Amino acid sequence: MTQSETFLGRKQFGTNNTWRKCTKSLRRNRLILSLYLLILCFFKASEAFVFLSEGHQHHQQQQHHQRNSISRRQPFIHATSSEQIIMKSSSVDDAVVGKKGDELEDAYENEDADDSNSNNNSNDPKEIFHVFASFLRSQQSLLISQLEELDDSNQKFSYDAWGSFLGEDKDDIEEKLKNGGSGGITRVIQNGKVIEKGACSLTLIQNGKLTAERARSITGRQGNDAVDIKEGDTFSAAALSIVLHTRSPMVPTFRSDVRIFMVQTCTSQKEEKEGDNPQTKTLAWFGGGADLTPYYLFDEDISSFHKKYQTLCDSYFSETNDTDNDENDTDANIFTYSKMKNECDRYFYLPARSEHRGTGGIFFDDMSATNKTLAFVQGVANTWLPSWRPIVEKRHPIPYTDQQRNWQLLRRGRYLEFNLLYDRGVKFGLANANPRVEGVMVSAPPLIAWEYNHAIEPGSEEHRLMQILKNPKEW
């Protein structure tokens, strides 16, 4: 008997039968244990497979989510011409540089939250004001570079910053908007080859207080009793304007601007009187336009200029088929090309002379600020140079006489008459307690002439121009 048998055998269990039974039971238990371990391993392997599959699926979903987040980033700017190169996209691209892992995922999740908030407040006046003001700053820089290239001389636009745009962070308009700063940048070129004097001015005003006169002016134009705009209400405004007085009388003067005006007010004065809690409401409107002041008529140039703006207007406010317009979209019926063209003719009119300042273009005011109108107004600014530059390139090389130059100076006198006597923007700027006169009057021509009782020869090109200025035509 071996030592193991002595330990597990007869001395331990007694008989041979007992030993055999014990051995058989031990083998059976060992088999059951093996089967249990095998089943356990199978289940553990299954769980691991499911975990890995779910992890892979989550990774694919995360990549898909990130790709969708990137593809959803659309530019704020509605580009309407081949020359438009500014694209203001979501800032998440810059924000996620250097991030990885969970930080990257969090950045895109935050972007989705921002997109959701933006969609929920798609027509929020404050958001539209912020986007538009940023667009104006970028557009000013773009215009300056293009105009200097067009002028092709040694003259450059000066840089005159004022208000909150002074200092080292003068170009950071986002910071100005965040901190409620006000100021502007006036850029002027003088004695150029093509542009004898040109100005491109950016203005940003925030948290101003309406005077009684300005409040009455706004309320009178709105004609809406539900919104009571009154003295002391808070307003903000942003504008970009451009005036280009050409050296050659064969090239028309070009003037244009786009602007936004936002005001915070109570919804109704009646609620206040009846003891109800008045609701604070923020409203915003766009204004702007573009027009030509020619000295000698080239009909095809004027027609081409009008056609570009007509095409733009028709793409937003169609007048060919009113049934295509949303019945709730009142702008679709108010701001058609024909109405904006007629408004331009009506606005740039010198009643004392019974003549219009130029051959017009488009002019609009009190346009409710929405995402749609934001895109339209940006489109107007993007059409400025494409509508004027072809005329410059075609007519600037034409030689002219001293007599034709003198006629240009006489017509510039009419231009200044309008600015001083009738222009709302000039009146608005000079109404401040301490106006920036240089900035307000920057649109004035560099040289002008007045001649007492100037006689125009019948049948001349000057006479033909005057006939159009007294009786505007459809171009």
| Helical (H) or strand (E) element with 287 | strand 280-293
pLDDT at 3: 42
pLDDT at 318: 78
* Closest residue by Cα to residue 340 from 387, 288, 415, 292: 288
* Closest residue by Cα to residue 85 from 130, 159, 145: 145
pLDDT at 279: 73
pLDDT at 76: 31
Q: Which stretches of 311-464 are assigned E, i.e. beta strand?
A: 349-350, 355-356, 360-368
Q: Which two tokens stand for residue 81?
A: 């011409």
pLDDT at 6: 39
pLDDT at 92: 26
What are the C-alpha distances in Å from 241 to residues 14, 209, 267, 312? 114, 23, 31, 19
pLDDT at 320: 60
Q: Which two tokens stand for residue 9?
A: 């055998």
pTM exceeding the 0.85 threshold for the entire prediction: no
As averages over each run of 10 residues, the pLDDT of the chain (475 residues) reads: 41 48 57 58 49 46 41 32 28 30 37 39 86 96 97 95 78 74 94 98 91 75 62 92 98 98 74 58 94 98 98 88 52 85 97 96 95 97 98 98 98 96 85 81 95 95 97 93
pLDDT at 277: 58
DSSP reduced 3-state for 53? helix
Contacts 24+ apart (CB under 8 A), 404-411: 404/249, 404/250, 404/295, 404/296, 405/249, 406/449, 407/249, 407/295, 407/462, 408/249, 408/295, 409/447, 409/448, 409/449, 410/449, 410/450, 410/451, 410/454, 411/293, 411/295
